[in-house]
Structure 1
Amino acid sequence: MSIKHIITHPGGAHKDDFLACSLMIYSHGVPVLRKEPSEAEVGDASIAVVDVGGEHEPTKMNFDHHQFPADYAPTCALSLVLRHLGLYEDARQYCDWLETSEWLDTRGAVKTSKWLGIERSAMAKLNSPVDITLLRRFAKQERHEAGQPVYEVMRMIGEDMVSFLKGMRERMKEIERQSEIWEIDEKFKVVFIPRVEPMIGEPSAGLGRYIESNELDCVAMVYPDRRGSGYGLSRYNDDLRLNFTRIGDCDDVHFAHKSGFMAKSSAIAPDRLRELLSSAWVG
């Protein structure tokens, strides 16, 4: 749908309206106006109204959550825009920060900290000048448009979010097609990714998420070494039952991290890789 501009509320900005508008900027490339929308603007499907307006109606490009009842599942403007783009389920699965953002925006810091099981004071310790400056600069202007620094940063953020989520979806499908589950000495399991050409990006990317999302009982990952012809071996979820310093002296192991969480080997034969995994096991 072609839209003329985006409206979001004036005053202080929060992560949910900032990120929701970032996605809309990337999707539509139109200006953002920070103001209260008129009734006519809320009813105009050529104007996207985000985090204001008292209505959630995607067919009219309205994405507000403030009218939802107090006991409604934590849902913010970002949630609604992600749903509109067909990315919400992927975002909940691959963006660990999203649910916390939904809680913060709809329940506040006190309830969110209790939900996370942390002290209220810890919430402020997670902020940085990146958060503070971007939100303050976004809130400061009444109009943001192409060519302005904040607008272009928001466009990049929106692009990266969409690219990451679509990329992760494809990466999970790719891992599903290529991966093997090895059982080593009837003691533990690992997920193995064979080398394929051409090798695109980081071969280990998404492996941990694949194990988690499929609830696999794996303690390690074996994947092509992007910088060599062999393979990388690493613990999943930092499982201390594997210590790769135990194989550091092997002729075909050219690097073993001193903390024991990973190693790199020139070995390419599956049987040899299995031997290395077996030697690294401490139980």
Structure 2
Amino acid sequence: MIQFSTILTHPGGAHKDEFLACSVLLSLHPVPVVRREPTPADLADPAVCVVDVGHEHAPERNNFDHHQLPKDHPPTCSLSLVLQHLGLYADARRFCPWLESAEWFDCRGAVTTARWLGVADDVLPKLNSPIDVTLLRRFALATRLTPGDPLWEMMRMVGEDLVSYVRTLRARLGFIGQHARLWPLSPVGKVLFVPRTEPLPDEPSLGLDEYIEEQNLVGEIVGLIYPDRRSTGYGLGRFRDHPALDFTRIAAEPDVHFAHARGFVAKTSAHETERLLTLVTRALVKTT
């Protein structure tokens, strides 16, 4: 792999796609990020990675622009092209639900994206946060970012976390498949139980939703039992807020030290499988 000398993207207003594309690239190539229009020499030099500008998608020369694609092309942004080049795109689309909507937003705009999502036009702005606004605004104001600059370091962390998540989740799903068990919870469905292992994963609940989807268990699973990373016990949770379970029903149990007031999660010091199943059973909402 060619080591970059520079990551170059366009000046002016900043958008999430080139911010994230540059962040992913920084996790692999910790070089300066420069925001200006590329020259023909830049586009010809594989050591200058040109992102979201230049009207050229030429991964063999590390040029990743999408603006020259026809208007009826499937939504594809600069982040899509970078992830494709790194061999991460298929898993990123599979494991990062936000990616497809980011592609639509960048290529089709807010109104069309909202309608594609089936929501009112004013919903998407309500999902913005000061984190989005500040990071993109500061990126837009910069002309050159180098190692040690707070924003450069933050971008590299974002890229490292994204790449690590996509690359390791496949192994995590294999781990869950090796250890997880399905417990029947009559009459509503099943509970997915993941036992404690040594060493314990940093995020014991990571990948459970993706595993259930991949195994076509969405219609069967109503609850989750997984190791609590902050104790020797377990977390108990509803799967996708399934109404069959209300963990406030077990809040008074002596080995339950937390039950959320909305009933979707609880924490217990219990670790025997029989006791865990008893607790989940007692959390069942009675049906008529």
Calculate the TM-score normalised by the size of structure 1: 0.92
- Aligned-pair distance for 1:254? 3.6
1:42 aligns with 2:43: yes
Aligned partner of 2:251 in structure 1 is 248
Aligned partner of 1:190 in structure 2 is 191
1:208 aligns with 2:212: no
Deviations along 1:17-64, one digit per CA (max 9) or x if unpaired, are 111111112211111222221223212212111111111121110111
Aligned-residue identity in percent: 53
In structure 2, the CA distance between the partners of 1:99 and 1:185, relative to structure 1 (3 Å rule), is: same
Task: Give the Cα separation in 2 of the matches to 1:221 and 1:40.
Answer: 55
Aligned partner of 1:267 in structure 2 is 270
Give the CA RMSD over aligned residues: 1.9
Aligned partner of 2:261 in structure 1 is 258
Deviations along 1:185-239, one digit per CA (max 9) or x if unpaired, are 3541011111112213132222223223333120101112333333222110111
SS in 2 for 1:202: coil
Aligned partner of 2:158 in structure 1 is 157
In structure 2, the CA distance between the partners of 1:33 and 1:239, relative to structure 1 (3 Å rule), is: same
SS in 2 for 1:227: coil
Report 1:172-187 matches (<5 A): 172-185=173-186, 187=188
Higher mean displacement: 145-154 or 62-71: 145-154
Aligned partner of 1:148 in structure 2 is 149
Higher mean displacement: 92-101 or 174-183: 92-101
Higher mean displacement: 184-193 or 52-61: 184-193
CA contact (8 A) 2:188 2:244 kept: no
Aligned partner of 1:33 in structure 2 is 34
Aligned partner of 2:60 in structure 1 is 59
Q: How many residues are paired up?
A: 283
SS in 1 for 2:240: coil
In structure 2, the CA distance between the partners of 1:235 and 1:10, relative to structure 1 (3 Å rule), is: same
SS in 2 for 1:260: coil
In structure 2, the CA distance between the partners of 1:269 and 1:153, relative to structure 1 (3 Å rule), is: closer
Which 4+ residue blocks in structure 1 deviate beyond 4 angstroms? Answer: none
SS in 1 for 2:99: helix
In structure 2, the CA distance between the partners of 1:151 and 1:267, relative to structure 1 (3 Å rule), is: closer
Task: Give the Cα separation in 1 of the matches to 2:154 and 2:87.
Answer: 23
**Structure 2 letter corresponding to 1:162:** V
**Structure 1 letter corresponding to 2:26:** I
SS in 1 for 2:166: helix
Aligned partner of 1:137 in structure 2 is 138
Aligned partner of 2:98 in structure 1 is 97
- Aligned-pair distance for 1:92? 1.5
Aligned partner of 1:117 in structure 2 is 118
Task: Give the Cα separation in 1 of the matches to 2:59 and 2:101.
Answer: 24
Gaps of 5+ in 1: none
Task: Give the Cα separation in 2 of the matches to 1:172 and 1:127.
Answer: 31
SS in 2 for 1:26: helix
Calculate the TM-score normalised by the size of structure 2: 0.91
